[in-house]
Structure 1
Amino acid sequence: MQNDTQSEGVIFRHLLATYTANDADSPRIPLFVKEPLLDKHWQELKTIKPELFAAAKAYYIYARAVNDFKGSDHRVNFSVPELRRLQREALETGSRRATAIASIWLAMELTLANPIQAINEIEYALPHLPRYSSDKSLENALSNVIAHDWLRGAYLELFVPSRAFFHSKEIIESKTQDNNTMVKTWAYFSAIDSLLIQNKFEEALAMSNDAIEHLSTVTSVHEKLLTYVQRLRVVVFQKSEGYELLAQEVMTQIRQLDTTEVKQRTEELSAYADALYAAVLNDDAKFQDSLQRYRNIVLATIPNSGFKEKIKLRLERELSRLYDASGDYEKAYEHSKTYNRLLVEKNTEQFKLSNSSFTDGIAKDIELARYRQKELTVLRSEKDGLSTDKEAMKTTIFALIITILIILALWLWISKRQSDLLAERDSLTGALTRRAMLNSLKKALKGNKASCIALLDVDNFKKINDKYGHVVGDEVLTTFTQIIKNRIRKSDKLCRYGGEEFLIYFSDSDQRSAKRILDELNFALSRQKHWSNTKEMFSVSFSSGLLDVNGETNLDTIIKMCDELLYRAKREGRARVASLPI
């Protein structure tokens, strides 16, 4: 290769030199760049091997950006425009695979700056990407399996678990060209995770059974442990009848695995499994010890990782799940809040890197339309003999481009509108979300109108969940919400404040009127004794803390006082309203 004067040899010498440019502590490949890398070299490779051209140039752009910006995410301001130009070049070759290769590399860089555009680019490239193979080459370095895996992770972060499940299933059902089972094992894990997020426990259990069958082809202890731990999660989170015995069986299988040779890779999973099983046994001391060990192991991986924020997010999500399994809903909620805060910070930081040129697609399309119009004008001046049909075709093309731009703008507006509406509503009950309610209250309280706020909590909700299951618990919450909606006025507001807690804003109401409505709601709820998801009959009540706002505009103060009144109602026997004397 050192003496190869052909374009391919020159390109690969520069690729290897760029790849090792910043390697100060490791041996470098003994190659020397004798001549500059010119556009003619790229053009020759593009003509002969368009797919290799797209892969080689994409990697060259990426490696240069990493070196020039010393690994900083700010490299995207260089790499993204360059990769977009490469994508257009690949399109001109007429090769679908070359275009797909350029697009997947572009998507990889966009994940740092604009995850939404990254998803679009991956979906665009996916049908024509090369298949996964252990025989690595530049062309298949980013394969269709990797694309499905990226989409799986992206949709989970955007909290679209149904799409994450779809892409996990695609990996499971794909036929790889080697015996590497880890890709499929991880796909099973993420598919089950997607189902757990949607509370589809029966489907998750069925998928877990398939994953256990897959273990017959697996030799890796790490993969087996991963599969068994995921099964333990399904059993514990479902909490079906006799789940303690099932959990014990899975834990026995986990403890039979010999992890001594892969201890460093498996200790995190082992600690997690110990904590989860301790929650099943109600062994608080063992639970706290295992949970702390799990936390310390995960935190120790952060300093040397290139994915620090993702590790922190995963830790907070799993801590929330573990505390939920142990019945400590207060701490589960705290970690859930931390997870949401970290996710907001991560996404905010990502989009800070997004140059406006990345997202101004309409301007680019208009520029492209103008460019094409100029080309048509030049052709018309050079060829005076253009027929009427050709003139009509040009007009049609231009009109079609404008129509597409209008449709695109309308689609973007509708998508944003739908997204905003979904973000304001709780997915289970249809009540306002906590954030939407607080934003609405800030405006309402400035009007200095007579109004009341009540914080409600379903009595003994944990016992309902434990005795009848989460599906019945969800039915209780949705029924409770519907009863409230049917009684309050349109000017009043209802939100699911968190878990089994709800917040009601009574507009233009005094404390006596609000208390009368709350008593009526408690009576209506207590009459509901039949539930569609269980044959057993039981009634439900709630406690509430009611406060006459009386001109107060500080939301934190109002919520705190409502919370104190709610706990007073709980102490005094539940199924009642506690309020300050008028």
Structure 2
Amino acid sequence: MALVFSAFPTTANINQTAEEEKFRQLGNLLKAVVYQWNSPAGLNNIEIARLIEESGIKRDNSTIASVIRAVMYEMTAGNIKEDKLPLDTPNAITEKQWQYLKNLNIDRYAALKSYYVIASAASRRYKQSERLKRSIPSLHALKEELIQSGSTTAVAISSIWLAMEYSELHPLKTVVELEYALPHLPDYDEKYSLETALDKTLAHSWLAEAYMNLNVISRSLEHNLQLIEQAKKNSRLSAFTFSGAIEALCRLTNFSEALKLIKEANFVARQSGDLSQELFVLMLEAGVYANRLQPGDKQRIQRITTDLSRFKDLKLPVNIITSPLILNLYNLAVIGSDTDFKQAIISYSLKINNEAEVAYYSRPLLLNKHQQLRNIYKLRGDFEKALFHQQEYENLLVQSRNLPEQLDNLVNDSPLERDITISKLQRLALSKDKQNLALKAERLQAILFGVVAALTTLLLFWFWRGQRSKAKLGDIDDLTGAFTRRAMFRAASKPMSSKVASCLVLIDLDHFKRINDRFGHVVGDEVLSTFGRVTRERIRKTDTFCRYGGEEFLLYLHDTNEDNAATLLKDIKRSMELHTHWQATDEVFSVSFSAGVVEIKGEKNIEKIIKACDHLLYKAKNAGRGKIETVSIQRYFTEQV
């Protein structure tokens, strides 16, 4: 009997589509509320309250409405009554409800839950350090959950939200999250505004700021220039877009290019007819001259800051609300009396400090304040105070680079673990691709079978020929894919001689002789092959993996300390212990290993290092096997003496 499939949508499909559309609409409502409630831009609070009422979300007890209402409530839960959203206290969100939304749309789920984590921590009015203790581990847990789903876009969305939390205190961690997220982030789409709110443009902007704070000015400039190009491409170019690139060029003392961008920004501002953009360009131009301070620059600053009457009573966006104060300070720095100049400094500093006290992210405001005051005092000729504000600026950056230990240890976020995370994503994506390919193969088997078989045969032939060629040269062990001992020493000798801390690891598979004796050498070979594959999947290109002999392996981990090496080895060991089914036998068993890890720095004698590794390996086996013993080479020699 032939199977007949209906071309008409089922009731289940119709319901699924309707639910997904409802999720989209209420997600867009949440985005509008988040970005406009109690904000001078866009809709006012009364209009937002009307939107909430008209949406029907207050009376809707469906899963989607209940969750989004609860998330929306968290946004102002800690505010005074007058500033709260017009919502009753909701029930707690259940895991079942979260799972329902995750199944509907995983990208929107990632954005919704990320915001919920941050809003929940912020609404309780915790101090910054206490807030981060709550938000950062939760965001990392969400990211790990999304990694398991295999959706790179969803992981990228969680990464950029995580970067936002790190941005206040840890520019390096911010960069790591953003650099991962950037290639996978969607462009902003008004139709799907919740999940695309933090988009590629914002990632470029934050990366530019983070690199600036890390003093990697060339990378900051690169991202700022990409921001300008993206804005041109999307027809969203404004004078405000040029500020980061101009600041970076000033830091690089490339004032001629900075002034070229000033001209372009001025043209864009005049074309827009927006006086606030023209005012902003004047502030940028004065800043360039104040940084350069060539003959005639003081006069140029005086000329562009003396008459600002056409900007009087101008309603300014929040991001440039202090521009008139700054331009006035530039003017007073050149021609003002000491009394007027001092009073203007006090007014400006007081306004910024008040804004910083209530801002969710205060550090960018304070950094900008010290930069402006440094330029203004330098222009005034008061180099002592200019130096003071430069030092305050740098101190603020140093604080961000030295995250308090209790915050830095919230999650184990070593470079090796990041490599492992990316490797997990790649493996999950590959697995998903294989599943999709299998499904297509079932549907088109008659057509594709010959092609797939031919391609598979050809690929296997190329792989076999390549592996055989390498094996003939004596560089690769054809069973495990690891280097031979001779090739290992040759490959590791150069990086090992550097002054960077690295690790050498000696690994021995536990009870391997029993496996051979009980199940046979074919099973033993499969164990060795599996261990080789698992290890090669988890190490980086800068690392070197060698079959040292029999069931013993050497692993050289470049630019890695003993703690990070132990983290990697635990991950490999966990994977081997979870692998219990083997092709060559019906018996179910797992394999573990023992390892000795020596952190090396400056020691070039590999025989001494291997001897130390062997001593630690012996210690690990005596402790009951399945153990990892680590030590630095200096401590090892000290203890031996």
Q: TM-score, length-normalised on structure 1?
A: 0.59
1:76 and 2:132 equivalent? yes
The partner residue of 1:29 within 78, 82, 86 is: 86
Aligned positions, number: 400
Match in the other structure for 1:174: 230
The partner residue of 2:287 within 233, 250, 264 is: 233
State the one-letter code of the partner of 2:539: T
Report how far residue 3 of structure 1 moved. Answer: 6.1
1:106 to 1:346, Cα distance in 2 relative to 1, 3 A: closer
State the one-letter code of the partner of 2:257: E
Report how far residue 225 of structure 1 moved. Answer: 1.2
1:54 to 1:159, Cα distance in 2 relative to 1, 3 A: same
Q: CA RMSD in A?
A: 4.1
Q: Deviations over 1:506-545 (max 9, x none)?
A: xxxxxxxxxxxxxxxxxxxxxxxxxxxxxxxxxxxxxxxx
Match in the other structure for 1:262: 315
1:191 to 1:332, Cα distance in 2 relative to 1, 3 A: same
Matches for 1:27-66 after TM superposition, within 5 Å: 27-30=84-87, 33=90, 37-66=93-122
Q: Deviations over 1:300-357 (max 9, x none)?
A: 4344334444433333332222222233323322332333334434544655522253
State the one-letter code of the partner of 1:261: L
1:325 to 1:20, Cα distance in 2 relative to 1, 3 A: closer
Q: Deviations over 1:533-572 (max 9, x none)?
A: xxxxxxxxxxxxxxxxxxxxxxxxxxxxxxxxxxxxxxxx
CA distance in 2 between partners of 1:173 and 1:149 (Å): 12
SS of alignment partner, residue 257 of structure 1: helix
SS of alignment partner, residue 262 of structure 1: coil
Report how far residue 81 of structure 1 moved. Answer: 2.4
Q: Is the 8 A contact 1:189 1:230 kept in 2?
A: yes
> Unpaired runs of 5+ in structure 2?
1-56, 428-508, 510-514, 544-555, 562-641
1:282 to 1:132, Cα distance in 2 relative to 1, 3 A: same
CA distance in 1 between partners of 2:211 and 2:227 (Å): 15
Report how far residue 33 of structure 1 moved. Answer: 4.1
1:358 to 1:77, Cα distance in 2 relative to 1, 3 A: farther
Matches for 1:300-315 after TM superposition, within 5 Å: 300-315=354-369
Report how far residue 118 of structure 1 moved. Answer: 1.9
CA distance in 2 between partners of 1:24 and 1:244 (Å): 48
Q: Deviations over 1:91-143 (max 9, x none)?
A: 33333221211111122223345431221011100112222456773202222
Q: Is the 8 A contact 1:73 1:112 kept in 2?
A: no
Report how far residue 194 of structure 1 moved. Answer: 1.1
Name the % identity.
25
Q: Deviations over 1:344-394 (max 9, x none)?
A: 345446555222534345479789999x9xxxx9xx9xxx9x999976763
> Unpaired runs of 5+ in structure 1?
414-582
Q: Is the 8 A contact 2:163 2:175 kept in 1?
A: yes
CA distance in 1 between partners of 2:161 and 2:352 (Å): 30
1:299 to 1:12, Cα distance in 2 relative to 1, 3 A: closer
Q: Is the 8 A contact 2:270 2:278 kept in 1?
A: no
Q: Deviations over 1:141-196 (max 9, x none)?
A: 22222222222221222222222222221221114898766xx4333112111111
Match in the other structure for 2:636: none
Matches for 1:145-224 after TM superposition, within 5 Å: 145-175=201-231, 184-224=238-278
Report how far residue 78 of structure 1 moved. Answer: 2.9
CA distance in 1 between partners of 2:120 and 2:344 (Å): 44
The partner residue of 1:394 within 520, 526, 530 is: 530
CA distance in 1 between partners of 2:350 and 2:76 (Å): 34
CA distance in 2 between partners of 1:107 and 1:298 (Å): 24
Larger CA deviation: 282-291 vs 296-305: 282-291
Q: Deviations over 1:177-220 (max 9, x none)?
A: 98766xx4333112111111111111111111111111134344
State the one-letter code of the partner of 2:217: P
CA distance in 1 between partners of 2:246 and 2:77 (Å): 42
CA distance in 2 between partners of 1:15 and 1:3 (Å): 16
Q: Is the 8 A contact 1:309 1:346 kept in 2?
A: no
Report how far residue 249 of structure 1 moved. Answer: 4.4
Report how far residue 401 of structure 1 moved. Answer: 4.1
State the one-letter code of the partner of 2:558: L
Q: Is the 8 A contact 1:185 1:211 kept in 2?
A: yes
The partner residue of 2:179 within 123, 128, 131 is: 123
Match in the other structure for 1:274: 328
Match in the other structure for 2:539: 403
State the one-letter code of the partner of 1:104: I
Q: Is the 8 A contact 1:218 1:224 kept in 2?
A: no
1:333 and 2:387 equivalent? yes
State the one-letter code of the partner of 1:52: R
Q: Is the 8 A contact 2:171 2:400 kept in 1?
A: no
SS of alignment partner, residue 93 of structure 2: coil
CA distance in 1 between partners of 2:283 and 2:263 (Å): 13
State the one-letter code of the partner of 1:314: N
State the one-letter code of the partner of 1:227: V
1:236 to 1:349, Cα distance in 2 relative to 1, 3 A: same
Q: Is the 8 A contact 1:52 1:139 kept in 2?
A: yes
Match in the other structure for 1:318: 372
Q: Is the 8 A contact 1:275 1:287 kept in 2?
A: yes
1:228 to 1:387, Cα distance in 2 relative to 1, 3 A: farther
Match in the other structure for 1:557: none
Q: Is the 8 A contact 2:110 2:157 kept in 1?
A: yes
Q: Is the 8 A contact 1:132 1:177 kept in 2?
A: no
